[in-house]
Amino acid sequence: MSAGTHHTIGQTGVPAAATAAAYIRQTVGAVWRDPVAGIVLGSGLGGLADRLENTVRMPFSRVPGFPTATVAGHAGQLLYGTLAGRPVVMLAGRFHMYEGHEAPLAAFPVRVLHALGAPVYVASNAAGGVRRTFVPGDLMLVADHINLMFRNPLIGPTESGDERFPDMSDPYDAALRALMHDAAAAVNVPLQDGVYCGLLGPTYETPAEVRMLERLGADAVGMSTVPEVIMARAIGMRAVAVSCITNKAAGLSHEKLNHQEVMDAGKAVAGRFESLVIEFVRRL
């Protein structure tokens, strides 16, 4: 299935998620235990996959309903294994709408993680720093988001078990955020709270757009996560997300923005990010 293939709702719904989940369970085999969390690794943050133990790896292209990852810094693999002795499912890479995917497909992996029994969705992403005090390498715990993608994965017929009008007053679970802060303190990783704004991309923002985002109350800006968290809320999963601030947003520094910078910053913060998520999973 090519990256530009458009999916209908039916191909990204509950039956399709069940099919993908059955394939994953069968591939993992006798060692399968329901995961305590599903974790998605953003650009440059894929190193956490190497910290898994007893790992079973599957390329996205083998998982029913998954397209191939096309973005540098995204390995395009689904992994099952243990972190801190706890079973988790991990996605090294994700599907972005700027690749030509519809919003339901961008959120489809969350459906699959839910079908696998994961009660918690842990998203990570690379983001530009809109808050002027952010510097590359900072970690931001997402407290809330602004959806300027103008897309929603729930548009269309309501899937079985989905909430038609999900409450988004607390999309990022307060108890999980507190747990993430506890984990950060335990491993001595600085963690700041902020608002993530999702834009469609794939261009980086103009300086005028960044000034607008600042006035709207955004602290960081990226091109993912929002559709996934909307889906998590609609199907009853608890969600938490961490942004790696990879650069100052356009107009806030004299640097030109590029994807290599994003990946380099992700690698620079990788150790802290990995320690944080491992400690968080240990405490789940």
Asked if 121 contacts 229 with a C-beta cutoff of 8 angstroms, the reply is yes
d(CA 43, CA 80): 19
DSSP string, 40-65: EE-TT-GGGGGG-EEEEEEEGGGSTT
Q: pLDDT digit string (tens) for 259-269?
A: 777 677 667 78
Task: Tell me the pTM.
Answer: 0.91
Q: What is the mean pLDDT of the chain?
A: 91
CA of residue 164 relative to chain centroid, distance: 22
pLDDT score at 12: 87
63-101 tens-digit pLDDT: 999 987 666 655 789 999 999 999 999 999 999 999 999
Q: Where are the domains of the chain?
A: 9-283
pLDDT at 3: 39
Mean pLDDT of 268-280: 93
What are the helix (H) ranges across 44-133? 103-106, 108-115
Compute CA distances 99 → 106, 107, 176, 206, whole Å.
10, 14, 31, 20
Cα gap 234→163, rounded to integer Å: 5
**Domain 9-283: assigned CATH number:** 3.40.50.1580
CA distances (Å), origin 206, targets 38, 127, 128, 249, 277:
33, 15, 12, 9, 32
pLDDT value of residue 5: 39
Catalytic positions, please? Answer: 43, 74, 96, 98-99, 126, 223-224, 247, 259
The structure tokens listed for 119 are 């009660």
Quick check: 256 pLDDT over 90? Answer: no
For residue range 215-245, list pLDDT tens digits in order: 999 999 999 999 999 999 999 999 999 999 9
